[in-house]
Amino acid sequence: MKIYLATNNQHKKKEMCELLPEHTILTPADEGIDFNPEETGSTFYENSLIKAKALYEIVKSPVIADDSGICVDALNGAPGIYSSRYAGPDFMKGKPDGSKISQEEQNVFLINQLNNTLKNEKLPSASYLHGERSCHYTCAMVLYCGSDRLFVAQETFEGVLIKDITEQAGNGGFGYDPIVFLPEYQKTVAQISADEKNAISHRGKAVKALKLIIDNLK
């Protein structure tokens, strides 16, 4: 079945093609569609739904949208829904002019912000799954087939933020993956294989939760 993915992020498209090999996954760019809806939601789910509805109104076919990001526990879940726009502690929600910094700069800023927070504040490390450097990815995924056929899954993927940018490792994945360490693998997310990541990641688990519905769409 042809399913539209409400993003032009080719990394996300690659993962979705791996997770749903029985289906044809298309992005707006594949069809020459200008697609850049304003994400005004205050949660991952709200932003995901905004994108799903916007694309469905154009293609009138099943749409999968996800909104995802990294949440650092000691930073009260930041950068969260602003992960792609995050530009350091002075621009937690992105720069006013809408410009974005490089992923490398984002990674450095996030590590340093956590380090400074831990240096200046006493935090109850027992409150966090993997101690005071705990972080997790969140993915809210919407399968949208019209206003009367809406399915949602939200999943997380836990890890630890590395202590210094010199510890980043791996060429796989994308985004913050090189700086998120997985204790059970003793590797960063960027070091594990695509199959391993898809089996345990926030996006992989969300797709699995919706797969039976996806496979039976008519």
d(CA 142, CA 33): 20
**Strand-strand pairing, 2-5 and 63-72:** parallel
Q: Reduce the DSSP state of residue 79 to 3 states and report it.
A: strand
Distance CA 30, CA 135 (A): 34
Q: What is the pTM of this model?
A: 0.92
d(C-alpha 138, C-alpha 157), whole Å: 7
Are 140 and 66 in contact by the 8 Å Cβ rule? The answer is yes
Q: Active-site residue 177, yes or no?
A: no
Band of the pLDDT at 130, cuts 50, 70, 90? Answer: confident
Among candidate residues 12, 65, 63, 68, the one with its CA nearest the CA of residue 43: 68
- Distance, CA of 154 to CA of 67 (rounded, Å): 10
Whole-number percent of the chain with pLDDT over 90: 91
Please say whether the structural domain 2-215 has been given the CATH code 3.90.950.10: yes
Residue of 34, 66, 67, 90 marked active site: 67
Q: Please list the residues that pair with 182 across neighbouring strands.
A: 187
Average pLDDT estimate for 169-180: 96
Q: Is the peptide bond before 79 cis (omega within 30 degrees of 0)?
A: yes
Is pLDDT of 125 > 60? no
